Amino acid sequence: MVDQFAYYANDAMPDRVCLSLDEDDSGVDTPGRLRLYGEASGSDAELVGVSYNAAGNWNDLDQASHQQRLTALTSIAEDAGVPGIWIGETNGKFGAESDKKEIGEVTNGGSISCSPTSVEVDELAQEIRDSFDSDVSPPDTGQTYTTEAIDGFQEWAQDALGLVTIDIDVLGLGEDGEIHSLTEIKRTGFDLDTWYPFTKGKRNDMRNYNLQMDTAHRINARPLLINHPKKGFLDSSDTVYLYNLDGDEMNTVRKQGTKDTFKDDRFNYSRIETTCKDAIDVVIGNKDWPN
């Protein structure tokens, strides 16, 4: 489900953010998710492909309503040098044996097009791996995953795919539509100052962060994370913590405000306590960093 910060961002700058939206989000007419896929090596993960997943069939899709996310799909794929594909699914019910899915490469040669094929769900994992020219093996039965699945597709992917799979919560866009940032959103039910990205132990998201960073570097965008309190509504003055996951960049930055630079045995990252308004300005590229 899209969280409060994403709704705030969409209300504040609807033409400057691109959201992954769920079918059960209130008032959402065009659910769909942008997803990244990577091959893992230890705690690292390297991008091999990107997909746009939505319910239904490509030929029945109202492309005008999905235009922003489909354009982002083809832009990421082209700039990162990986395939971009369409996956037609039934959100929340993914994995039903009787349910066929669609898959096909999406291209943008002035207009967005796709010629998908229909496959059984038990054939889809290999179709995805083939689309991304990946020879990884499916996970061993009973393999334990440390990242919590956000929806039916991700749960299925953890069991069947053998690739690291994450969704993109928010893409920050420039006035010309150029992608400025890939932003992960976290919600915390306790003091924001005591929360840190999970990089060790039972909840280890290190592969996810490395996949986010690898993608951002390939498309010349910023890998960001925003952590905010769990509440029903956020406004421009509410406090959030903004993280730049590219710590090597931020280690050289000296700005006013409350900022911490962290260095553990996995990666460097920097954070600053700021407001929703200033965080959005960084996400869409209006500001380099809050000051």
Judge contact between 262 and 268, C-beta under 8 A: yes
Instruction: Give tens-digit pLDDT for 241-290.
Output: 999 888 655 443 333 334 455 544 445 678 888 999 999 999 999 998 87
Instruction: Give tens-digit pLDDT for 107-141.
Output: 999 899 999 999 988 899 999 999 999 999 887 64
Q: Which of 36-40, 48-52, 81-85, 141-145 has the lowest mean pLDDT?
A: 141-145
Q: How confident is residue 1, by pLDDT bands cut at 50, 70 and 90?
A: very low
Q: Look at the alpha carbons of 104, 121, 185, 67 in this order and tell me if their dihedral is positive or negative.
A: positive
Q: Determine phi and psi for 288, rounding to 5 degrees.
A: -75, -40
Closest by alpha carbon to 19, among 72, 76, 58? 72
Cα torsion through 10, 56, 35, 46, rounded to 10? -160
> Is it the case that residue 95 has pLDDT exceeding 80?
no
Q: How confident is residue 189, by pLDDT bands cut at 50, 70 and 90?
A: confident
Judge contact between 97 and 122, C-beta under 8 A: yes
Q: What would the mean pLDDT of 212-238 be, rounded to a whole number?
A: 89
> Is it the case that residue 291 has pLDDT exceeding 90?
no
